Amino acid sequence: MPAWSSGQSIAGRYRLERPLARGGSAEAWSASDTVTASRVLIKLPHGAGATAASFDREYDASRSLDHPDVPRALAHGREGEYPFLVAAYVEGRSLSERRGQSFVELAPLLISLARTLAFVHAQGWVHRDLKAGNVLVSGNRRALVTDFGLAARIGERQAPNGGSPFTRSPQQAAGLPAAAGDDLYSFGALLYELLSGNPPHFPDRAAVERADRRAPEMQPAHPVPERIE
């Protein structure tokens, strides 16, 4: 796997500027589109998990979801033998930086995120990797949903064990067909993490993989409404 670097040209058009984020199998860079003289985001692989199929799936999902809080994919292709994905560049910071805030502070972002998920599901898609690291908070306090590399059509059967073990649903871990409930479970795990600091069971991987697991009682950093808890 190559080591991507600033100034490197991708597909003879996109000049890498600086790294923005790095996940388990891919990394995101800001880049200059030398054709349109605009800034874009480009996603590149750095591990075995980032396949051309996952990049293609992310492109297809993004292009079919016309929503202001889903950054739009612009192009995809290959740089030599390695896939890449180009998307609209958005300014934002990871939702993970909001861990430990009060529910009152988090509520507007959570409402925004829930509405976007409802739209995604209404279009027949399931994100399947909803977690704090895949949500960006824009300057106007909107939650932007990113990284649709594991997305699936509702009812589609995907390989098990995709997504984070601490935020994916038991049904997804078992390889059952994709359902909106998978994202709702992840939304609950995300809320648990934001209010208490970590998702349920973290970092006990054995506990999260038990079929009969139940989330331990949450220990929020600040008092939360009983209904939310």
Residue of 33, 56, 60, 129 marked active site? 129
Asked if 46 and 25 count as a contact pair (C-beta separation under 8 A), the reply is yes
* Dist. CA 192–CA 170, nearest whole Å: 16
- Average pLDDT of the chain, as a whole number: 90
Residues near 54 by Cβ (< 8 Å), separated by ≥ 6? 149, 150
**How confident is the model at residue 49, as a pLDDT?**
57
The predicted-structure confidence for 32-82, as pLDDT tens digits, reads as follows 999 999 999 999 998 665 678 888 989 999 999 999 999 999 999 999 889
Extract the tokens encoding 18: 């600086």
Report residue 18: phi and psi, to 5°: -150, 150
pTM, to two decimals: 0.89
Q: Is 129 a known active-site residue?
A: yes
Where does residue 48 rank: exposed (0-12), middle (13-18), buried (19+ CB within 10 A)?
A: exposed
The predicted-structure confidence for 91-140, as pLDDT tens digits, reads as follows 889 999 999 999 999 999 999 999 999 999 999 999 999 999 999 998 76
* Dist. CA 5–CA 196, nearest whole Å: 37
How many Å separate Cα 91 from the centre of its chain? Answer: 16
